[in-house]
Structure 1
Amino acid sequence: MTGSIAETPSNDNDLNQEQPPVKSTKAKLVDFARRALVVIVFAAAVYFIAVQWPQVQATVFALQWWQVLLSLLALIPGVLLGMYMWRVVMASLLRSVDIEPQGLVLNQIYLVGQIGKYLPGSVWAFVLQMELGRKNGIARAQVFVASLVSTGITIGAALVVGASALPILVQRQPNLQWLYVILPVVILAMNPNVVTFLVNIVLRVFRRPPLPERIQANTMVKAFILGVLMYLCFGLHLWILVGHEATLDLATFLVLTGALALGMTLGVLAFLLPAGVGAREAILILALAGMMSAGAATAIAALSRIMFTIADLLCVGIAYVHFRWRQQSASKTTVDSASEAK
């Protein structure tokens, strides 16, 4: 399957590693632009935290330290579940390739690419993932399709999870009734035949051959379950965060989880905003309005946003450290084997 839409990696693995091919000026410029983009998106994420901090510092200091810590820790498995969902879709596109050796690389492609959403226009997340994938010999079309399909599944999972909060949100903001119409449309669009049809349209735009077979139903189901679990982790984060202002019961958890899921979905649709800033907060404030004052709701929504950014950066750091550790372990094993052979 990879042969149908994969691009040929730029480096020839059969070349003598002691005499690597000299990169062209164009290749050097592309590498520089790729690194510059990574630096820019990380700087944008850090800048976002710095700008938002004055609005939330009073709220942070009013919370118990364990609330802040547990709330942040709840986000990390959620971010990683989103990564595994993307990998499930990517594995379906790379079915003829052993996916495990590329696992750590795929983790970095997804996690670093996700930081691109902190630039205005969430399209940068897709661009960065495509370029990082291309650097590692994976076709831009494959990466883009995996990201597009996983985004669609994420929206579907969000709308299903968000059904628990929709009645309350519609009561406070009737204009959100259109979400009732979108839900069945998205569920229908997640049919494997429909997804395959849409993917082939995207591949045609990229001037790549269509998929030789349809995306399997078990891929969609597995990715959808991971998406739901991801939102449950995110909901747990918010549930812990509001513990000093609201009653921590199951009903509150479901409402907050649903509101956060819907808010993140609106953030995806509001793609001109960095990471959907404003759209998510508006939904969260609506959901929190019945639990606390408007000022407290605004501060919690902003604090949640900052904590999401910190969790994204932490996950990238964890993935990088793990990747470097595995590389060093592999190098040490190679050296030890060579010494024993002598």
Structure 2
Amino acid sequence: MTDSIAETPSNDNDLNQEQPPAKTTKAKLVDFARRALVVIVFAAAVYFIAVQWPQVQATVFALQWWQVLLSLLALIPGVLLGMFMWRVVMASLLRSVDIEPQGLVLNQIYLVGQIGKYLPGSVWAFVLQMELGRKNGIARAQVFVASLVSTGITIGAALVVGASALPILVQRQPNLQWLYVILPVVILAMNPNVVTFLVNIVLRVFRRPPLPERIQANTMVKAFILGVLMYLCFGLHLWILVGHEATLDLATFLVLTGALALGMTLGVLAFLLPAGVGAREAILILALAGMMSAGAATAIAALSRIMFTIADLLCVGIAFVHFRWRQQSVSKTPADSTAEAK
């Protein structure tokens, strides 16, 4: 899988001829480090599932098989919508510097990079995406900005979706009242002028040149809509999962979707934890407390976490198969054309 990620549109043979031996050795070491990082993050994701499995095993066997399957399938379009949201931002940034983005490459950069969140410290997702982007001819700064902006949009979408669950959560945990204050602030901060200003500050800190142009409003709107749709898919996953314990109605769907969105946002802010472990579960257990016992709520929250990890890995596999299929289709096209001509 890492071989397809490592591919770059540039001519590697020409580059190697132009570079001195010392540079080539350094490039090989960097490439090895990238591959090692990919292996480590995938191992971390698998280890995470193995560690959590004993806690949720009884809950899984208590559910109907179709519940588990449908709940997992609902996550896949959500993960892919998150990918498309990032692509919208990334494509806008690349076109601003006259680079036409390649969709299949961007898919793999995002999906494989996201597995990095299973290492302690969510910064690894950013690091892996930047390194994979650099390997494919995209500047690290561009990938970093795209990830930073899309994360901000994700938080904004989560707070809007989470408004449906906020009254119940605040009633059960008054310490969450600060979310009422941060919601309008985040919405205002999503103004393209404000986002561009904040991004340029970050770039200045890292001694990088500012954005060549203002982030477009239509980019922000498209990404925000995709973010909302992403959380609706995630909410559907949780809604199906609790069907054996709670009433499946619209009110329950809105509360669960809002709680999951807020929990994932707190997980992003808890960047020292692998994928925000603990922060998301605390919010979910709080929302599920009125629907089931504390033990069942804890098990459902943990099972949801495992299913998210499985969905992430499945989406990487889907992207890899799609990439290989497209490669084979392109390579066969010239031969087919020649055969038809004869």
Output one character per residue of 1:55-95: Cα deviation in whole Å (capped at 9) or x when no partner. 00100000000000000000000000000000000111012
* Gap change, CA 1:159 and 1:13, over 3 Å in 2: farther
Is the CA contact (8 Å cut-off) linking 1:5 and 1:141 kept in structure 2?
no
Moved more, 247-256 or 13-22: 13-22
Residues 119-167 of structure 1, C-alpha deviation per residue, up to 9 Å, x if partnerless? Answer: 0000000000000000000000000000000000000000000000011
**Structure 1 84/327 Cα, relative in aligned 2: closer, same or farther at 3 Å?**
same
Cα deviation for residue 107 of structure 1 reads 0.1
Distance in structure 1 (CA, Å) of the matches to 2:11 and 2:174: 56
**Contact 1:281-1:298 within 8 A present in 2 as well:** yes
Cα deviation, residue 240, structure 1: 0.2
Report the Cα distance in structure 1 between the residues aligned to 2:8 and 2:309, rounded to whole angstroms.
34
Number of aligned residue pairs:
342
- Cα 1:72–1:21 change in 2 (3 A) is farther
Q: Distance in 1 between matches of 2:142 and 2:3?
A: 11
Unpaired runs of at least 5, structure 1: none
Give 1:211 shift.
1.7
Cα distance, 1:205 vs structure 2: 2.9
The 3 A distance-change label for structure 1 pair 167 and 91 is same
Distance 1:147 1:109, change over 3 A: same
Contact 2:236 2:257 in 1 (8 A): yes
Alpha-carbon distance between aligned partners in 2 of 1:66 and 1:3, rounded to the nearest angstrom: 35
Contact in 2 for aligned 1:120/1:274 (Cα 8 Å): yes
Per the alignment, do residues 136 and 341 of structure 1 end up closer, same or farther by CA in structure 2, a change over 3 Å counting? Answer: farther
| TM-score normalised by structure 2 residue count | 0.93
Look up the match of 2:88.
Answer: 88
Contact 2:235-2:260 within 8 A present in 1 as well: yes
1:290 counterpart SS class = coil
Separation in structure 1 between the aligned mates of residue 280 and residue 110 of structure 2, nearest angstrom = 22
5 Å-filtered alignment, 1:1-342, equals 24-96=24-96, 102-337=102-337
Counterpart CA distance in 1 for 2:3 and 2:149 is 20
By how many angstroms is 1:331 displaced? 1.1
> Residue by residue, what CA displacement relative to the aligned partner does 1:223-261 show, whole Å, maximum 9, x if unpaired?
000000000000000000000000000000000000000
8 A Cα contact 1:9 1:138, kept in partner = no
Separation of aligned partners in 2, 1:20 and 1:341: 45
Residues 3 and 239 of structure 1, relative CA distance in 2, 3 Å threshold: closer
Does the CA-based 8 Å contact 2:95-2:101 persist in structure 1?
Answer: no
The alpha-carbon deviation at position 208 of structure 1 amounts to: 2.7
Gaps of 5+ in 2: none
Return closer, same or farther for 1:191/1:337 CA change in 2, 3 Å cut-off. same
The Cα offsets for residues 7-60 of structure 1, whole Å up to 9 and x where unpaired, read as 998757977999999971110000000000000000000000000000001000
Q: Is the 8 A contact 1:6 1:141 kept in 2?
A: no
Kindly tell me: are residues 252 and 275 of structure 1, through their superposed partners in 2, closer, same or farther at Cα, counting changes over 3 Å?
same
What root-mean-square deviation, in Å, do the aligned CA atoms of Structure 1 and Structure 2 show?
4.3
Give per-residue Cα distances to partners, 1:157-182, cap 9 Å, x unaligned. 00000000011001111101111111
CA distance in 2, matches of 1:23, 1:73: 46
Asked if structure 2 preserves the Cα contact closer than 8 Å seen for 1:259 and 1:283, the reply is yes
- For the Cα contact (< 8 Å) 1:7–1:139, is it kept in 2? no
Structure 2 residue matching 1:121: 3-state secondary structure: coil
Return the alpha-carbon distance in structure 2 between the equivalents of residues 3 and 203 of structure 1: 31
Judge conservation of contact 1:235–1:260 (CA < 8 Å) in 2.
yes
Indicate the percent of aligned positions where both proteins have the same amino acid: 97
Asked if structure 1 preserves the Cα contact closer than 8 Å seen for 2:122 and 2:275, the reply is yes
Question: Is 290-299 or 14-23 further displaced after alignment?
Answer: 14-23
| Alpha-carbon separation, structure 2, partners of 1:44 and 1:195 | 33
Indicate conservation of the 8 Å contact 2:91/2:101, yes or no: no
Q: Relative to structure 1, is the Cα distance of residues 340 and 15 closer, same or farther in structure 2, using a 3 angstrom cutoff?
A: farther
67-76 or 16-25: which moved more? Answer: 16-25
Q: Distance in 1 between matches of 2:82 and 2:103?
A: 14
Within 2, Cα distance between the matches of 1:6 and 1:112?
12
Instruction: Provide, for residues 192-239 of structure 1, a one-character-per-residue CA deviation record: whole Å limited to 9, x for no partner.
Output: 000011111222233332222211111111100000000000000000
Q: Distance in 1 between matches of 2:98 and 2:78?
A: 26
Cα distance in 2 for partners of 1:12, 1:99 equals 19
Q: Is the Cα contact below 8 Å between 2:56 and 2:299 reproduced in 1?
A: yes
Offset of 1:334 from its aligned partner?
3.0
Q: CA deviation at 1:100?
A: 6.9
- For the structure 1 residues 235 and 144, does the alpha-carbon distance in structure 2 shift closer, same or farther, using more than 3 Å as the test? same
- What's the TM-score once normalised by structure 1's chain length? 0.93
Q: CA 1:66/1:2 → structure 2, altered by over 3 Å: closer, same or farther?
A: closer
Q: Distance in 2 between matches of 1:46 and 1:93?
A: 33
